[in-house]
Amino acid sequence: MTLDEKIYQYARKLPYSLQEELFDFIQYLLIKAEQQEKQEWASLSLSSAMRDMADEPDLYSVSDIRLDFA
């Protein structure tokens, strides 16, 4: 018996109100997994974008910064 079949068999044994609660929990887990995947992709994208930037020459120095408070 596969895992999804086992889950189905156990879920069928629950009272209807607990089946609804189980369904809500499953939806929560799906949203959580989706958010985690988005976070992982965002982190990967940022690390890919930043890769090798430390090796690039500086285009400006501190002396190039000009502050005008007028």
CA distance 43 to 61: 29
Q: Is the pTM of this model over 0.75?
A: no
Contact at 8 Å (CB) between 10 and 22? no
State the pLDDT at residue 16. 96
CA distances from 64 to 26, 35, 57 (A): 56, 42, 15
Contact at 8 Å (CB) between 14 and 22? yes
State the pLDDT at residue 70. 60
Tens of pLDDT, residue by residue over 6-64, are 999 999 999 999 999 999 999 999 999 999 988 877 777 777 777 777 777 878 888 88
